[in-house]
Structure 1
């Protein structure tokens, strides 16, 4: 199915199921508060009708008959109705807002919980901008729509019904005009409702696209400047920005046109009513108070009808936003059917006939057989795209093999509870993420529960991070900034190593952990890694062969297969692909010493 076809199918999808789910699952649990809110809304509607109803006796019995006592009585009643209306207005607005904010809090929490449980592959289908838009912009739209629909349905709709009933009571002749007006207004609202739904979905997609481009502009600002692509990124953002503006203008044009159109219909009905009032058969049944009260009622209908017309726009935007949130909430979580508990693994890992494909067509891994003994360091090297990172992603169960199996301590990975399995693994990559907070909080991220300050400092010491941390302005309490932006690459790397130290996992996964560092930072990180890797099973991905030559075993992976494996000396003696790449790297760096004279690497045992 094409993207355009899918978009059209989504635009034409009815919104009633979304509204029903939203109401049943998120509004109905607060039915007690909702019942009080409905009562106050009905009370507000009754006061609206009551104020109009006072006009008839006020004119006929008070002004026409010049009865001062009647005038004083109805003046007092009018004041009392206005006070009651003010109290009812406050309570209805406050309580409906309370319900809608409770709704958005729960819906946002469920969406965020599902983000944490979604399969890794699901994040490749949605941009970060789209996900953030759903949790922020779309969640707010849902809350506003819910509040508006509660107020409008139970206040304005009741107001229309009560006023219409009062108009029937005043004059059955004049109410005939309502039979012409209401179907016309209903048809206009139905058309507007359908158009709002289509435009709202397009706007939400455009907002997500803008968020994605903006995020790339922020995260990739160095590359944009260095490659001189500012104008290109500006044009790309402007194209989406303009697209969003046009869609929103069409939405607003429909919204603003609907209000005067409905008012015009009501005004026409009012004019016809005034003309009918001059007919002889009608005039005989009317008094001044009756005609004035009837006209006042018709004028009073204008405001709730206008709000009902506006509700269509707000409701469709909110329901479209809710659909996006529900799509996120309904995303299947990671498969976690294991029942086997695992306190601490020994670290024996076996890949048996493992195959894997991302798209179901081209295989990234083609029958991998690999075994790592507890405490062994296995280096994975070879050309980019050979499947090295995929191997460790499968071990972390971010993906599932399409064939074969991976075993840990003799049991298949899916047999373990996912939380227990991942507690055995500590990953360190060149792009490890730091979270907003302090240095101490980021190191403590490796612990499952509360951790002492002494343990944090000890982990930093092992990671060779304590000296530079203590030189920071606030030491361990220094904020690291967004994604650790206030620290250097080497400092961030050592903090992530300290985090791994604190986790104390029996399995380490190192993916180009030192490739982005300068020589001085690399030495500090290598020293930290030496201490961390002692007595742990480690898989190390590296393209610089000088950093893996002292591994217990080296695997050369190319095109999804293990082409060669052995120790550094064995692979050089074999004079195969590993030896060719090794010579190529040292030819590219003539100043580098021979392997036998090189300084001990981070993988020295």
Structure 2
């Protein structure tokens, strides 16, 4: 909440001008009953027709003035809230971008989307409509009650005691509603995650004929959402009828008691009308308190959730004066590196060196830790022990963003943005590459042929996450993207698993077009690693075998067994 208040302070011109418009609007609003009283008592009752035109024009001017100031009041407060929302949302998104891998291991997409969208919108509503209406309600009630006392204290005392009762009911409603809304907000995030994953993976759902299962899973979430909203409706149903009953009783008190004073000539009809107008103004905030209380409760709850995200800090520290420039050759060395996450040892005492321009291959069973080595290299995680060097300089001595620019990653689970193929290949370049360059990188990745056959060629817009492309096509576009980056280190993490061996072999030959770049290949297939300068076999987070292809076959260990299994599969 402190962050929200701080940001609101930066937007003080909107809130100051909005407050001025609000005060002017209230002055005009409170002057209207005075004109009404004179219209009734002087024109209608006493027949002073000469005052009719003057008072009528004055009422029209007051109405126009209230409309004009009301427009600026709402516009300025809403602009303040909108600018606040834009600022908070951008800061939140920037902060999420700065967080390390472990944060995203724990948080799901639906929850983060709820924080960035729904929760920021709730803060916006609370700081625009909620804020100015709260101020307007307090000023209206205070001024109206003061003017009522000035007109007739006795009649006022019949109405004022009811206001604390309404305040108590509103507070109870607010306190009860906050917890209910928090539960609804959490369930909304869960439902968003379920729906988002299902829609994103709709092809997988259909291929496994899981439509019924997914419908039932969403139904459970939807029913829980219904239950929570039903509980909220019951809370509102307990309080609103009582509030409405009191609101309806007050006009009856005015008619009966006020009418008696008029009959006794203690009040004129015009003054009673003026008093009734002020009484209506005093009661109006009570009609709004329930909605405002809910609005402010939602804003407070959402601000708390947003603060929780801001409270999360990256576990990867970027050195303040880290190395930000220089020619990187691509010499990589791991010296006794270990990694522990959540009290589990995932890598233990890993040591190796890759000279510039050489190729290191890493093999191992699923879950052995081979991909973690590449994640440590780019500091997606930091090693628990040992040191990693790039060109004989510890990677922690480099600026984090400069360090990551030295690596071109091609991952097995390819992510493509909902943009054109040209924009996806040009990712990280700052601008779309020239057509000749796009074709060259795509040809080296064996992607140009299928891209050129598309109706819009490189301008074809890829669907969400590359939907509509085969696994092999997505991998080839991703490889072309890595080639275009021209980093000194190329990391292929099981990136040709969806390709046939002929295409895989062609791509490996084309890598030589990029000169002395260091290559790290993580793979399951022997065909992808057999030509590497050194092959590491990882099991249980440790290096159990290392050497060239022929050397590892001679050991007749894990590598040999994998080779035999794959050869038997090919023969079969």
- TM-score, normalization by structure 1: 0.88
- 1:495 corresponds in structure 2 to 477
- 8 A contact 1:396–1:422 mirrored in 2: yes
- 1:509 corresponds in structure 2 to 491
- 8 A contact 2:140–2:281 mirrored in 1: no
Cα RMSD between the aligned structures? 2.4
- 8 A contact 1:259–1:306 mirrored in 2: no
Pairwise CA distance, 1:170: 0.7
CA distance, structure 2, for counterparts of residue 283 and residue 522 of structure 1: 103
Helix, strand or coil at the partner of 1:589: helix
- 2:283 corresponds in structure 1 to 302
> Is 2:245 the partner of 1:264?
yes
- 8 A contact 1:46–1:162 mirrored in 2: no
- 1:349 corresponds in structure 2 to 332
Which residues of 2 match residues 77-88 of structure 1 at below 5 A?
Answer: 77-88=58-69
Identify if the C-alpha distance between structure 1 residues 487 and 581 changes in structure 2 by more than 3 Å, giving closer, same or farther. closer
Identify if the C-alpha distance between structure 1 residues 377 and 391 changes in structure 2 by more than 3 Å, giving closer, same or farther. same
CA distance, structure 2, for counterparts of residue 413 and residue 491 of structure 1: 34
CA distance, structure 2, for counterparts of residue 255 and residue 52 of structure 1: 34
CA distance, structure 2, for counterparts of residue 277 and residue 448 of structure 1: 75
Pairwise CA distance, 1:337: 1.6
- 2:122 corresponds in structure 1 to 141
CA distance, structure 2, for counterparts of residue 528 and residue 251 of structure 1: 63
Pairwise CA distance, 1:274: 4.7
Bigger mean CA offset, 514-523 vs 233-242: 514-523
- 1:293 corresponds in structure 2 to 274
> Is 2:360 the partner of 1:381?
no
- 1:365 corresponds in structure 2 to 347
CA distance, structure 2, for counterparts of residue 21 and residue 168 of structure 1: 41
- State the Cα deviation string for residues 278-318 of structure 1 (Å, max 9, x = none): 77899564333222322232233333321232111112122
> Is 2:402 the partner of 1:429?
no
- 8 A contact 2:414–2:478 mirrored in 1: yes
Which residues of 2 match residues 2-151 of structure 1 at below 5 A?
Answer: 18=1, 21-22=3-4, 24-151=5-132
Q: Which runs of 5+ in 2 are unaligned?
A: none
Which residues of 2 match residues 131-530 of structure 1 at below 5 A?
Answer: 131-255=112-236, 258-277=239-258, 285-333=266-314, 334-337=316-319, 339-360=322-343, 362-448=344-430, 451-519=433-501, 521-530=503-512
- State the Cα deviation string for residues 88-117 of structure 1 (Å, max 9, x = none): 121112222211111111111111111221
CA distance, structure 2, for counterparts of residue 398 and residue 168 of structure 1: 68
- 1:582 corresponds in structure 2 to 563
- 8 A contact 2:412–2:497 mirrored in 1: yes
Pairwise CA distance, 1:530: 4.9
- 8 A contact 1:490–1:517 mirrored in 2: yes
- TM-score, normalization by structure 2: 0.93
- 8 A contact 1:343–1:420 mirrored in 2: no
Helix, strand or coil at the partner of 2:161: helix
Identify if the C-alpha distance between structure 1 residues 321 and 269 changes in structure 2 by more than 3 Å, giving closer, same or farther. same
Helix, strand or coil at the partner of 1:540: strand
- State the Cα deviation string for residues 577-605 of structure 1 (Å, max 9, x = none): 221222233233325xxxxxxxxxxxxxx
Helix, strand or coil at the partner of 1:341: coil
CA distance, structure 2, for counterparts of residue 545 and residue 519 of structure 1: 10
CA distance, structure 1, for counterparts of residue 103 and residue 8 of structure 2: 29
Identify if the C-alpha distance between structure 1 residues 258 and 99 changes in structure 2 by more than 3 Å, giving closer, same or farther. farther
Helix, strand or coil at the partner of 2:490: strand
- 8 A contact 2:41–2:269 mirrored in 1: yes
Identify if the C-alpha distance between structure 1 residues 479 and 521 changes in structure 2 by more than 3 Å, giving closer, same or farther. farther
- State the Cα deviation string for residues 25-59 of structure 1 (Å, max 9, x = none): 23222222222211111222222222223333333
- 8 A contact 2:262–2:269 mirrored in 1: no
Helix, strand or coil at the partner of 1:473: coil
Pairwise CA distance, 1:364: 0.7
Helix, strand or coil at the partner of 1:136: helix
Pairwise CA distance, 1:393: 0.8
Helix, strand or coil at the partner of 1:200: helix
- 1:6 corresponds in structure 2 to none
- 8 A contact 1:344–1:424 mirrored in 2: no
Q: Which runs of 5+ in 1 are unaligned?
A: 1-17, 592-605
CA distance, structure 2, for counterparts of residue 282 and residue 143 of structure 1: 51
- 8 A contact 2:504–2:528 mirrored in 1: no
Pairwise CA distance, 1:127: 0.8
- 1:564 corresponds in structure 2 to 545
How many pairs were matched up? 570
- 8 A contact 1:45–1:162 mirrored in 2: no
Pairwise CA distance, 1:529: 4.1
Helix, strand or coil at the partner of 2:469: coil
Helix, strand or coil at the partner of 2:11: helix
Helix, strand or coil at the partner of 2:446: coil
CA distance, structure 2, for counterparts of residue 492 and residue 111 of structure 1: 31
Q: 1:553 aligns with which of 531, 534, 541?
A: 534
- 8 A contact 2:425–2:438 mirrored in 1: yes
CA distance, structure 2, for counterparts of residue 464 and residue 145 of structure 1: 54
CA distance, structure 1, for counterparts of residue 294 and residue 95 of structure 2: 29
- State the Cα deviation string for residues 203-226 of structure 1 (Å, max 9, x = none): 111111011111221232233223
